Structure 1
């Protein structure tokens, strides 16, 4: 990977263990609106943007007395509350990013999460200052697996897509990065159930001396 200039991180599931908070908030808010939230459908919504999730549940169980924007913002606000009060940092990720910076890599963030949640996460982990660019799918026509967010992230970093490495934990995110022409590292966090065949490499933990592995491969 000697020609690589930039590392772009996904957020949920890569730098913060927040998937459970999204699931909890989704269940709380939409159940209160009369939606029958099931694990089967929640597995489908996992890779969607919050606006797509809201539209998905509304299409299944149309509700009254609350517009979709308000419902979406309630989910986001609930997730922010949980992030601010719970311990949710992925072990070793801050040190890992700091080492990338000392090695002169540009560092970006590209997430399907809404824009207003990003500074909450990065400030909580005290890593906001480490990112050279931040991209939210809120400002894209389509979220992941569409590649646009990664192409725009590369543009912000003034780096060609082929010179970018993406660290992702979801299939939709890995597919987006691959379609953008980038090298993909699957962050597994020890998950053996997920299919990571689409990725170029796998990374099980940020706590090991993985920066040397990235430089060597």
Structure 2
């Protein structure tokens, strides 16, 4: 990371393993409103914000009485409940961020998740104090893959985009970061690197000595 002044983290899939919680919450809430939730249609919503997902299902299976905003918040509340009660933190990530802080990197968080969820995750991680800038797609006109949230993060961090390294696990997030002119590290969490064409670097785990390993081999 010799050329980077700021490290910007995604949240879902990077700080917290929450993808299954979103899927569960959306299934529970939308099916209760008469929506026929299928895997085929669900795959189309993976990169959307929560409000975009809610609108997506309403356009196909309109429901009565409840507004889109109310239904969106029902989904968010269910995800929050799952995060608070389940063991879902990504192993080693807090220590990894602490190492970066010790090396004087500016630390940002940029997520498509609603703003309500961010303090829940950071409280569980006990890491609110480690982040210099925290942004939700709620504050942008468009979420990822639009680069707006990453450009906003760089501006608030006082850093040029080309001096930022983004740690992402999703294709849409990596695309947003690349379109913002930033370097991308794909966090694979021990799995297969599915987004190889977009990533500049790869990280399988936040545990052990990955930070020293990458610096020692001049990969970042």
Q: What interval of TM-score do these two structures reach, taking the shorter chain for normalisation?
A: over 0.9
Secondary structure, counterpart of 2:178 in structure 1 = helix
Secondary structure, counterpart of 2:196 in structure 1 = coil
| Unpaired runs of at least 5, structure 1 | none
Match of residue 50 from structure 1: 50
CA gap of 1:193–1:41, structure 2 versus 1, over 3 A, is farther
Match of residue 7 from structure 2: 7
Match of residue 86 from structure 2: 86
Q: Which runs of 4+ in 1 moved over 4 A?
A: none
CA gap of 1:207–1:45, structure 2 versus 1, over 3 A, is same
Match of residue 66 from structure 2: 66
> Is 1:159 aligned with 2:162?
no
Tell me how large the CA RMSD over aligned residues is.
Answer: 1.0
Question: CA separation in 2, counterparts of 1:213 and 1:185?
Answer: 14
Secondary structure, counterpart of 2:145 in structure 1 = coil
> Is 1:207 aligned with 2:213?
no
Question: CA separation in 1, counterparts of 2:214 and 2:134?
Answer: 22
CA contact (8 A) 2:150 2:177 kept: yes
Deviations 1:5-64 (A, max 9, x none): 000000000010011100000000000000011111112211110010000001111111
Deviation at 1:210, TM superposition (A): 1.5
Question: CA separation in 1, counterparts of 2:54 and 2:24?
Answer: 14
Number of equivalent positions: 217
Moved more, 59-68 or 141-150: 59-68
- 1:175-186 matches, within 5 Å, as 175-186=175-186
| Unpaired runs of at least 5, structure 2 | none
Match of residue 102 from structure 1: 102
CA contact (8 A) 1:171 1:196 kept: no
